[in-house]
Structure 1
């Protein structure tokens, strides 16, 4: 367990600014192969409080995104013990894809800070953020983990810095509309595969000069599941991405909302759209 103690001790020193007011942090909540805490940032201009859920894992361990892949387990957040909180918006950094025992998982390797935007009921009063977190960490096998943390936040504090939170806020995909752009990753078109028998989505993508597309993730409500994308460069410099529809809700038909996320350089992007990709099972 010495390596875990060293890892957690190192994590505690990250994000501590010199010559500035230190951001608030909770105590670590330790599990077998991981540890979790809450960290705070300066109050946003909108009056919302900025909080991060930080998870640090033992070497080789991973945890999961909101859409975890073939057999992963997404985190479950319980904020019911919070005070003076009118709403919370969990804002996920772009994930990565990794191999696991049952195919591939989607999530984060080694560490993650999940930013959360907190809307106070009364912005003039302090906020108490209380979290009970159920999550999984995996090496060769997955094991359940739990964490509990509380953080008291003063209203309107703008003089603190939290590089640790800011680092992961910068990884949150930028919301974009369909269409070509010169300075960012572009999702130009999303359609069903040309052949009904393909049971696939086809995307046309493009990276700006000096950029790169690393991966594509498609999410749909319910039992929608999509495979790893097949990326094919096209003569005009764009990229065709084909994703097999692995599973879908029974009887799904008509327009359905989806989220498409691209990871890569210069920064991850996501778009929300509605598609009619037909009924029936793959």
Structure 2
């Protein structure tokens, strides 16, 4: 009888160990933290996408009160610079930026992330049947009252076809990546109905007409142009018909730039941020 009980106990322990091992296997793989001044960085893996692309997140956690910057940092700041040169079996990388927020620093308004962020990256293997080694060197800045340039290095081994891992943290930030939408109404998402020049400012700015989804909101709009374009803080004005007008000043532009200019508008709002790309015919700046 004692022998039977011992065998049952061993079986229970073996089952528990196997279940724990399976739970550990299902958790997302992570690299060690790369520690810098007022910040730390690591890579986290998510499940392989149905297309065969590997899903990775660049996680940055900062000291309380510190911020880092978006791809277009606003009036001041430095966007992160990614170096993937040491990676193997990678045919392409797509950095997918979560919607940022606007914050005020010592000199003006900048755009980025406060406290923490996970930047999703889609990785296309050259050979999907072979493992991928993701190696990242990142130059970025973290700022409180002044900015501190920092560096981070991380690497992560990804097995092919791993679909059982879970990464709620990565997935929560993937959900914050703006959905690409064309100009015009979109049920359930914020929308840009019209974009035109705004003649109410000395040097023409941009005026948008925005549609807010039912039970949704629009909090801000970030504008990007090719090269050295710079845009001011967005001023949102609700209208009587339920629409919102957004006025955005052109602060700076490449010398002599005019004509149809490709612009990216990122609308921060609920239930889902959106990104709209369009061309706007902008005249030469007034002398």
**Please, what TM-score do these two structures have when normalized by structure 2?**
0.90
- The corresponding residue for 2:186 is 181
Q: Secondary structure at the match of 1:197?
A: coil
What is the rounded CA distance, in whole Å, between the counterparts of 2:103 and 2:245 in structure 1? 22
What is the rounded CA distance, in whole Å, between the counterparts of 1:18 and 1:35 in structure 2? 26
What is the rounded CA distance, in whole Å, between the counterparts of 1:249 and 1:196 in structure 2? 19
Deviations 1:75-107 (A, max 9, x none): 000000000001100000000000101101100
1:171 paired to 2:208? no
Mapped contact 1:248–1:281 kept (Cα < 8 A): no
- The corresponding residue for 1:234 is 239
Unaligned runs of 5+ in 2: 1-21
**Alpha carbons of structure 1 residues 126 and 200: separation in structure 2 relative to 1, 3 Å:** same
- The corresponding residue for 1:216 is 221
**Displacement after TM superposition at 1:20 (Å):** 6.3
What is the rounded CA distance, in whole Å, between the counterparts of 1:236 and 1:182 in structure 2? 17
What is the rounded CA distance, in whole Å, between the counterparts of 1:166 and 1:110 in structure 2? 18
What is the rounded CA distance, in whole Å, between the counterparts of 2:86 and 2:52 in structure 1? 21
Pick the aligned partner of 1:250 from 255, 258, 262: 255
**Alpha carbons of structure 1 residues 281 and 198: separation in structure 2 relative to 1, 3 Å:** closer
- The corresponding residue for 2:280 is 275
What is the rounded CA distance, in whole Å, between the counterparts of 1:234 and 1:29 in structure 2? 48
What is the rounded CA distance, in whole Å, between the counterparts of 2:165 and 2:128 in structure 1? 17
**Displacement after TM superposition at 1:126 (Å):** 0.3
Q: Secondary structure at the match of 1:166?
A: helix
What is the rounded CA distance, in whole Å, between the counterparts of 1:139 and 1:224 in structure 2? 25
- The corresponding residue for 1:86 is 91
**Alpha carbons of structure 1 residues 223 and 102: separation in structure 2 relative to 1, 3 Å:** same
Mapped contact 1:84–1:127 kept (Cα < 8 A): yes
- The corresponding residue for 2:39 is 34
Q: Secondary structure at the match of 1:161?
A: coil
Task: Say how many residue pairs are matched.
Answer: 266
**Please, what TM-score do these two structures have when normalized by structure 1?**
0.91
What is the rounded CA distance, in whole Å, between the counterparts of 2:115 and 2:166 in structure 1? 23
Question: Once superposed, what is the RMSD of the aligned Cα atoms?
Answer: 1.5
Unaligned runs of 5+ in 1: 1-16
1:156 paired to 2:193? no
What is the rounded CA distance, in whole Å, between the counterparts of 2:136 and 2:196 in structure 1? 40
Q: Secondary structure at the match of 1:183?
A: coil
**Displacement after TM superposition at 1:42 (Å):** 0.4
Pick the aligned partner of 1:135 from 121, 130, 140: 140
**Displacement after TM superposition at 1:114 (Å):** 0.2
Deviations 1:184-237 (A, max 9, x none): 111111111135834210000011121110001000011111111111111211
